[in-house]
Amino acid sequence: MTSAEHADRGLIAASISNETVRLVHEYTGRGPTKARTYINEDLITVVLQDTLTMGERSLIRDGESNLVLAVRRAFQQTMRSQLIDAVERHSGRKVLAFLSDNHIDPDIAVESFVLES
């Protein structure tokens, strides 16, 4: 990979990270404090850290982790089309599959996009 291709990939990754953070903030009222996008041949993965709201953290302290995870899955499905659109727009590639999950401790979410070859 040339330095120009590496720079282009970095700009694409930053754009996808920024848009993912914006969408999470728009839907949940709070965006993650860290986001990093990894781009491989046919896979783009966004790793988000520190995503939980104060309300979700309170629910977790009260033993409601499963409820928080269910709500997060609902948000991710609601954001699905916008996340896919962002990845396709910034990468110039079609998304075949979107996979998403959350982890409570540590507070990490992953959005993965399998791309058409």
Q: What is the pLDDT of residues 40-61, one digit of tens each?
A: 999 999 999 999 999 999 999 9
Q: How many domains does the chain have?
A: 1
Whole domain around residue 71: which residue ranges?
3-115
Please write the tens of the pLDDT for every residue from 70-110. Answer: 999 999 999 999 999 999 999 999 999 999 999 999 999 99
The residues near 17 (Cβ < 8 Å, ≥ 6 apart) are: 35, 36, 37, 46
Across residues 110-116, what is the average pLDDT?
Answer: 98
Closest CA relative to residue 117, chosen from 98, 99, 95, 100: 95
What is the structure's pLDDT at 7?
A: 74
Q: What's at 108, amino acid-wise?
A: I
Report which of 39, 43, 38, 35 is spatially closest to residue 18, judged by C-alpha positions.
35
0.85 exceeded by pTM: yes
Partners of 98 in beta bridges:
113
Nearest-angstrom CA–CA distance, 5 and 62:
48
Sorting pLDDT into bands at 50, 70 and 90, what band is 37? very high
